[in-house]
Amino acid sequence: MLRHVVRGAALSATLFLLSGGSALAASNGAGTETITEHFRNEMLFSEPTVNPCTGEPGTLTGIAKNGKVHVTTQADGELWATGTFAGTLTITPNEPGGVSASGRFTSWFGVSLNQKNSVEHSTGTFHLTGSDGSTVKVHMVEHVSTNAKGEITVSFEKARLSCG
C-alpha cells in the first residue's frame, strides 16, 4: 500500500523534470544540464487503498510539505536523478464510522541510467495514528538494477509493517 507513496512521488517528480531535462541536454548536443525543482505543500497522490492494519478500504492521500528533486542529463543519454520528500499522509475510510489515520512520511529515491545499465532505488518511512488510537508504521527499501539487454540483474523490496 504505502510503497505507492515512494514510487508515486519518485515517478511523478522524475517524469515532470525529465520532460524538460531531456530537451535541455539534447539541444545543440550541449553537454551536461541540471534541473532542480522544489515542492511545497503539493499533493503528490490521492489513490484507493486498504488500511493495512484494519483491512478497511479507503483513500490514501500524500502531501509534500517539503520536497526537492535534482536531475542531471547528458547529451549521450546518461541521467541521474534524486529526490527527497517529507509531508503528511491521510487514510480516509470509504465507510462512515471507519477508522481514519493521519501522520507523516519521508521518502528518498535515486535513479541512474546510461546506455549500458540502470539502477533505481528508494526508501520510505511512514508513521500514522488512527482515529481509534491505533498506529501504523512502515519502513521500505526498494532496488532494481537492469543491464543493457533490459534484463533485471538485481531486484529486491524489503518492507517492515507494524500495527499497534
Q: Give me the helices (H) in the chain, please.
A: 3-26
SS3 at position 27: helix
What average pLDDT does the chain have? Answer: 85
Q: How far is CA 104 from CA 62, 64, 87, 94, 119, in A?
A: 9, 10, 6, 21, 27
Per-residue confidence (pLDDT) for residue 127, from 0 to 100:
95
**Eight-state DSSP code of residue 75:** T
Q: Model confidence over 95-139: pLDDT tens digits?
A: 998 889 999 999 999 999 998 999 999 999 999 999 999 999 999
Per-residue confidence (pLDDT) for residue 30, from 0 to 100:
62
Provide the whole-model pTM: 0.75
